[in-house]
Amino acid sequence: MIRATFEKKTFHFKRPSGTSRGVLTEKHAWFISLSDSENPTVIGLGECSIIPGLSPDFVDFEQYENQVKSCCDQINSSVNTFESIEILCAEIGEFPSIVFGIETALLDLRNGGKSFFYDTSFTRSETKIPINGLIWMGDEAYMQAQIEDKLQEGYRCIKMKIGAIEFDKEFAILESLRQRFPADQLTLRVDANGAFSVLEALERLTQLSTLEIHSIEQPIQVNQWEAMAELCQKSPLPIALDEELIGIHELEAKRNLLETIQPHYIILKPSLHGGISGTKSWIEIAEKLNIPWWITSALESNVGLNHIAQFTSTYDNLLFQGLGTGGLYVENTPTKMQTKGGFLEMLQ
């Protein structure tokens, strides 16, 4: 019989990190542990990670912890096989971060509790995953300092969050960077987090396109499908959907969104977009529609990041992934992964 327990942990950022949801100084996560009575010493561990204001399943800490507890109680009272836990995950799709935590704990348990989930060239330390260097929001000096650090570390793809200061200043930073490094040497991505109004968006995207930007994430606010579809059609700069995918669980609804908007890319975060199973379904639909994708973490600790990275490595995807967040926290969990030279690698 499978038993479930959970524990809440708080991680503190090494330095405050600016996002469209404010400046983050700490990160909360709930860790689900699964064990089997037939082999009680083996523990499967999964992370339920939330970002207040972005995670669709988080209202407040009491509500969220009660939901985690409820899922664990269901496992302990009536769900007692691998297959029935998978059914439970399918039934709680509106709680993607909890689905991710349970799914990954279950997979860890199935594989002996060794944090080794998939046999790939990445997990065998034969290949590395190319990743982007993330530039957090802040004043000009802070963003410029982050860029220089990433360049020194060897990153060949820089992703800059915009919308924190005046657009002209952000554009000047990107323009200076492009003048130093042409597009064949450095890939530039920007993440607008819905910062532009519908009226100004096309003009902003046209300006950014002169810098050979790879793509822009979520230029306008979500739930404006008609406006976003028109923007994707007219924009000289490729558009990637991110927040637009949150809260959509049914296969037909996913297909309808992608067919309606026809984005140039989608960006997938398992903790926000349906766990591992939900992410797989997004990928399957996107590939049928010839829409490229990449995966990023949602600020998980090394427990969640490890699984996301290993899952990502099961696909042949040469795009830069957003998996370089393992060093964010003061008290992170141990890991065999490391970032080096703009790549994520698994150590033996």
Provide the annotated active-site residues.
161, 269
Q: How far is CA 135 from the centre of its chain?
A: 15
Torsions phi, psi for 323 (to 5 deg): -120, 25
- Full strand arrangement of the beta sheet holding 293-295: 133-135, 157-161, 187-191, 215-217, 239-241, 265-268, 293-295
Measure CA of the first residue to CA of the last residue in the chain; give whole Å.
33
Buried b (16+ CB within 10 A) or exposed e, 313-327: beeebebbbbbbbbe
Query: Percent helix, strand and coil across the chain, each rounded to 5?
Result: 40, 25, 40
Residue 319 Cα distances to 21, 118, 156, 278, angstroms: 27, 20, 11, 20
Q: What single-letter DSSP state applies at residue 220?
A: S
Residue 273's contacts (CB-CB under 8 Å, 6 or more residues apart) are 96, 245, 246, 279, 282
